């Protein structure tokens, strides 16, 4: 039984790698009406455009995190300056939303293969494959889902919203994010990418100040 589980997990990891190199995987969040209070809170969450946290220059632990994640991402994004900008934005937006940055990296790998202009068959856009209906719900006329920080801000805010709905159940929150609530394939793909490619020991995990 253990061998069968290991084989199944290995297959999921291999599939995740293939998806990361191919077309957009998912981004098929389902439209659900929001209570006015929830809509206002989400709108406020995505509207704040504070500058990126400058602590990478002052914090040796975050500098090590950036160096390690940049090394892992180099094959997918050869440009070191752009790679650094993306990783800083992922770290900032993830920690701002109360998410593990490594989880978000795994999700981006599965969703778009780190392609800024990825578009799914359902019309979802960008790194985190955000569905356009979210712009109407919580964005504004100037929202551009292909903008790096905007896409990450929306994606992290949406995943945080789903986690809150599911009372911290990541399996179900990821299912909602993918529009496949209750099915294991997508949560397992994200978990596999997260653990296989982006895991970082807890004792060294870069955290918000």
Percent helix, strand, coil in the chain, to 5, is 60, 0, 40
SS3 4: helix
Instruction: State how far the alpha carbon of 46 is from the alpha carbons of 5, 9, 19, 40, 140, in Å.
Output: 40, 35, 28, 10, 10
For residue 96, what are the CA distances in angstroms to 38, 67, 82, 141, 151?
Answer: 18, 21, 21, 24, 14
Distance of CA 7 to the CA centre of its chain: 26
Q: Which residue in the list 111, 166, 185, 195 is annotated as catalytic?
A: 111
d(CA 21, CA 171): 24
DSSP-based three-state secondary structure for 130: strand
Active site residue 111: yes
**DSSP letter string over 35-102?**
-HHHHHHHHHHHH--PPPPGGGTT-HHHHHHHHHHHHHHTTT---HHHHHHHHHHHHHHHHHTT--HH
Which residue numbers are catalytic?
111
């Amino acid at each position: 039984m253990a061998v069968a589980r290991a084989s199944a997990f290995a297959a999921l990891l291999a599939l995740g790698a293939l998806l990361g190199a191919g077309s957009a995987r998912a981004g098929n969040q389902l439209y659900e009406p929001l209570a006015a209070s929830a809509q206002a809170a989400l709108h406020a969450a995505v509207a704040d455009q504070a500058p990126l946290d400058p602590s990478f220059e002052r914090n040796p632990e975050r500098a090590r995190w950036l160096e390690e994640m940049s090394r892992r991402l180099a094959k997918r994004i050869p440009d070191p300056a752009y790679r650094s900008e993306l990783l800083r934005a992922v770290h900032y937006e993830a920690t701002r939303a109360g998410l593990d940055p490594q989880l978000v990296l795994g999700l981006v790998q599965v969703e778009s293969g780190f392609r800024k202009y990825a578009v799914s068959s359902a019309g979802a856009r960008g790194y985190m494959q955000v569905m356009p209906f979210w712009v109407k719900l919580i964005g504004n006329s100037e929202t551009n889902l292909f903008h790096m920080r905007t896409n990450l801000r929306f994606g992290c805010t949406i995943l945080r919203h789903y986690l809150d709905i599911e009372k911290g159940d990541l399996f179900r929150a990821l299912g909602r994010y993918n529009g496949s609530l209750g099915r294991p394939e997508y949560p397992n793909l994200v978990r596999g990418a997260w653990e296989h490619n982006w895991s970082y020991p807890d004792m060294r995990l870069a955290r918000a100040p």
